[in-house]
Chain A
């Protein structure tokens, strides 16, 4: 499988456009997307997902793309298990119901992320962190090699944050292409590459370079102390 290929892609909405972007994301790769609020991270992710049309250029997707909105933005009164099993809906084109195999796959995915005990609880009653893990479990059962995660770590406590980070890396380890926007710089530091969106520039670099204090100053206008061992800004 070839990767997700962006050629001179200009993402944007009415009255707002990002600089052109060339990028190839390979299967198994985690790309972190950083930049200040309003820089266009969500617009770019939605364009990659096909939810917004590109203003210019092209997106070549080697498979289906799934977009996951930030924690707390999905509301559903039914059970976490059912919500997870809905990830297989595209496989059940004309069927009046989901198959037993779908629920088995969903339960296995929930167990894998240690949220199996929440399977029968209504999704709305879970904490943001638990909800996020359930939604990532849904990505595991979904036939979508491209996973576009919009601030998957927002609102989460450190423990749930770690669990979600591990889950995101597990998605990639199975050969998916993962792009995740984040304000959590230690997560970006663990990514394979970092795409930084500034006011009028986009930069693609290795984390060590992208997260240096000078870059962070250019991006956010703040002074972040450099880590004494790796030289990266400490977020």
Chain B
């Protein structure tokens, strides 16, 4: 169990974030159209060589999308894990990912363009989260957390059924491959506009969660404790859930279904900075950004045909999660 002072956890979080930035520079320096760090810096400020500018235009959005997506999924995952005091809580707890998948698949079925697909995925994710929240609000169980988990499972299952229907209805040679590819997850399709469309809602969600900070710690103690401490438990929890759903929808809309980051990154960060929400959230987001970046680099490492990021994140994330679990259980 980490027993770190505030100053040391802050330093650790900065170290992870710096490492993620360094990894981003390293990724840009390697592979096709590699740019040396000094050229990259020059291009960022608008007076780089033509080669560097081209590399930044072509590879920058993908990098930004990967890091945003990783940070958003990790932040949302950490938020859910704190709120539900459940180590298995993941960003798709409210069925948001399935809903976003359904939105994207429907848009692809109707032949929409990339921006519209992203918009539909975003809307689908938020709508599914809203349905789960509304259903949970109708129940009257003492502590609302169980109702939320159950309603999230129901909303997610309905969205998944709808997604299955779309897959069955889709034209097998033209539409189905694009739907399947979308669902497997990728950062390649992001343009700068699409990356920014993810950055803004994810940033808003992250700002809300970080502001909630110590209030999340109180919510994790349960509704009775929160009310006894003079906090309005229900509105704050709904705010936190909306923020996390916003971040998840933004991430899934730009990248498709990329699993395990939201589960793995908070656990890795927790080993370093401990359980306090105010410390865990930034550390988890930096870890998620780093993880997504490395997974995306790995996706291009096996020759010209890229592997889907969603597959790799599970193939790497699941064993890494097991490893972290073994390490943390031995430490305690």
Contacts and interface: CB of A to CB of B under 8 A. Distances in A.
A97 B85 CA distance: 21
A79 B217 CA distance: 11
A214 interface: no
Contacts of A89: 214-215, 218, 229-231
B217 A75 contact: no
A82 B276 contact: yes
A98 interface: yes
Contacts of B278: 97
A144 B229 CA distance: 9
A143 B230 CA distance: 9
Contact of B217 (A68, A82, A144): A82
Interface in B178-236: 210-211, 213-215, 217-218, 220-221, 224-225, 227-231
A78 B274 contact: yes
Interface in A79-135: 79, 82, 86-87, 89-90, 92, 96-98, 120-122, 125
A78 B6 CA distance: 12
Contacts of A125: 1
Interface residues of A, number: 32
A24 interface: no
B275 interface: yes
A72 interface: no
Interface string B96-139: 00000000000000000000000000000000000000000000
A50 B229 CA distance: 12
A96 B229 contact: no
A51 B229 CA distance: 12
B248 to A, nearest CB: 22
A122 B3 contact: yes
A90 B3 contact: no
Nearest to B226: A89
A233 B270 CA distance: 52
A90 B231 contact: yes
Interface in A125-180: 125, 142-144
Interface of B: 1, 3, 85, 210-211, 213-215, 217-218, 220-221, 224-225, 227-231, 274-276, 278
Given A51-B227, A82-B217, A122-B1, 13 more contacts: A49-B227, A67-B228, A74-B225, A75-B221, A79-B274, A82-B214, A86-B214, A86-B229, A90-B229, A92-B214, A96-B211, A97-B214, A122-B274
